Amino acid sequence: MPRMLRRAAVLGATANVAAKHGAAKAEAAQQQAATAVPAPVAQPPASAPADATQPEVNYDDLLKLKQLLDAGVLSQAEFDAEKQKVLGN
């Protein structure tokens, strides 16, 4: 068998074994995740409502401002001033 053909056969066999091993490993992890008991979710304290303590922040506006800063449309000072307006500080 020529050298290049032999190398291709070995690489193909190795790739096949690795793919089967990866699939088996993924299947085992999936089964383990399905049988695992979910962790309890921590509840926030009931003494203070979250809406009353923090103002509403519009993250879309912040993202748009950041894109304008990255594009060079806004300077850092303009970005900081607009960010403070959005955050309400």
Residues 15-72 pLDDT 10s: 777 778 778 888 887 887 777 666 666 776 665 555 555 556 678 888 898 899 999 9
pTM of structure: 0.38
Give Cβ neighbours of residue 58 (< 8 Å, ≥ 6 apart): 86
- Give me 58's structure tokens: 């519009």
Of 87, 48, 44, 45, residue with least CA distance to 65:
87
In this model, does residue 82 exceed pLDDT 80?
Answer: yes
Give the C-alpha separation, 51 to 66, whole Å. Answer: 26
For residue 4, CA distances in Å to 12, 15, 16, 18 come to 12, 16, 18, 21
* Predicted local distance difference test score (pLDDT) of residue 13: 80
In this model, does residue 78 exceed pLDDT 80?
Answer: yes
